[in-house]
Amino acid sequence: MIEDYYKEFEGLACFKYKDKGFIFYKMYDNEVIYIDTIYVRPELRRTNTGTEMANALCAQLFPLFPGLHEIYSKVHKATTGWQTALKFQISWGMEPYNYDDNSIQFVKKIDADFRSQIKKLNKKA
């Protein structure tokens, strides 16, 4: 039911990944992904599951939207566990581009190397 709420009122899609977690995201003009929320089950945190999920989302979207060129996200400092979210963003190769007292915004450019990496992961799956 919660994903229905986010879709209706926030315009967010839900990518469920196995039984490990989910990502709420939004597409803009078939060129940009905005990742709103990444949730990893507590017992799977610090096991690279967030990276696995984010890469799986990209693997699903890249063939459907070949014009994708950027991924954006934001870490809100008031959110519980924001430091962990910050570490994930950086470890996944996202770069901070804007910040204030309340949040840090990140961007990841989708280049040929990243597309190739995702394509290899698709072949292994």
Domain boundaries along the sequence of the chain: 2-124
> Which CATH number among 3.90.1580.10, 3.40.50.1100, 3.40.630.30, 3.90.230.10 corresponds to the domain 2-124?
3.40.630.30
Other C-beta atoms lying within 10 Å of the C-beta of residue 46: 12
Q: Which of 29-38, 53-62, 87-96, 113-122 has the lowest mean pLDDT?
A: 113-122
CA distance 80 to 12: 21
Report, as an integer, the average pLDDT of 49-65: 94
* CB-based contact 110:68 (threshold 8 Å): yes
Q: What is the pLDDT of residue 35?
A: 97
Residue 67 φ/ψ, nearest 5 degrees? -85, 0
Q: Quote the pTM value.
A: 0.91
